[in-house]
Amino acid sequence: MISALDFVRPHIQAMPPYQPILPYDVLSQELGLPPSSLVKLDANENPYGPLPEVLTSLTAEVHLHIYPDPESRQVRGLLAAYHRIAEEQIVVSAGADELIDLLMRVFLEPGDGLLNCPPTFGMYAFDAALSQAVLHTIPRRSDFSLDMAAIERTVAEVRPKLMFLANPNNPDGSLISPSDLDRLLELPLVLVLDEAYIHFAGSEQSAVARVSGRENLIVLRTFSKWGGLAGVRVGYGVFPDKLVPTLMVAKQPYNVSVVAQRAAVACLQNTAKLDLQRDEIIDRRERLLSALESIPWLQPYPSHANFILCRVMDRPAPVVKELLRRQGILVRHFDQPGLDDHLRISIGRQAEIDRLLAALKGMGEV
Q: Does position 116 bind ligand PMP by CB under 6 A?
A: no
Q: Which of 194, 200, 237, 324 binds ligand PMP (CB under 6 A)?
A: 194
222 part of the interface to ligand PMP, by CB under 6 A = yes
Cβ nearer to ligand PMP, comparing 309 with 360: 309
Q: Under rule CB under 6 A, which residues in 307-336 are in contact with ligand PMP? A: none
Q: Which residue in the set 121, 126, 226, 236 belongs to the binding site for ligand PMP (CB under 6 A)?
A: 121
Which CB sits closer to ligand PMP, 89 or 222?
Answer: 222
Give 170 or 206: the residue with its C-beta nearer to ligand PMP. 170
CB of 361 to ligand PMP, least distance (A): 28
Instruction: Compute the least distance from the CB of residue 102 to ligand PMP, in Å.
Output: 12
Tell me which residue has its CB nearest to ligand PMP: 95
Minimum CB separation of residue 194 from ligand PMP in Å reads 5
Angle at 346 between CA 314 and CA 36, to 5 degrees: 110
Q: 95 or 348, CB closer to ligand PMP? A: 95
Count of residues interacting with ligand PMP (CB under 6 A): 13
Residue 68 CB, nearest distance to ligand PMP (Å)?
Answer: 17
Nearer residue to ligand PMP within complex by CB, 130 or 230: 230
With CB under 6 A as the contact rule, which of the stretches 90-98, 281-289, 312-320, 345-353 interacts with ligand PMP? 90-98
d(CA 332, CA 200): 19
Judged by CB under 6 A, the residue of 160, 227, 235, 300 near ligand PMP is 235
Q: Closest Cα to residue 97, out of 9, 13, 194?
A: 194
Q: Which of 230, 320, 324, 330 binds ligand PMP (CB under 6 A)?
A: 230
Indicate the pairing of strand 190-194 with strand 235-238: unpaired
User: Which of the ranges 24-32, 60-68, 150-158, 222-230 carries the binding residues for ligand PMP, by CB under 6 A?
Assistant: 222-230
Query: Which C-beta is closer to ligand PMP: that of 121 or that of 144?
Result: 121
Q: In what order do the strands lie in the sheet with 298-300?
A: 39-41, 329-333, 342-346, 307-312, 298-300
Residue 158 CA to residue 294 CA, distance in Å, equals 46
The distance of closest approach from Cβ of residue 153 to ligand PMP in the complex, given in angstroms and rounded to an integer, is 25
- The yes or no reply on residue 172 touching ligand PMP (CB under 6 A) is no
Rounded CA gap, 197 and 205, in Å? 11
Q: How far, in Å, CA of 78 to CA of 262, rounded? A: 12
Beta bridge partners of 309: 344
Contact letters (x/-) for ligand PMP, 93-112, by CB under 6 A?
A: --xxx---------------
- What residues form DSSP beta bridges with 190? 162
Q: How many CB atoms lie within 10 A of CB 183?
A: 15
Closer to ligand PMP by CB, 92 or 312: give it.
92
170 lies in the binding site for ligand PMP (CB under 6 A):
yes
Minimum Å gap between C-beta 121 and ligand PMP is 4
Region 28-67 residues binding ligand PMP, contact defined as CB under 6 A = 44
Q: Which residues bind ligand PMP (CB under 6 A)?
A: 44, 95-97, 121, 166, 170, 194, 196, 222, 224, 230, 235
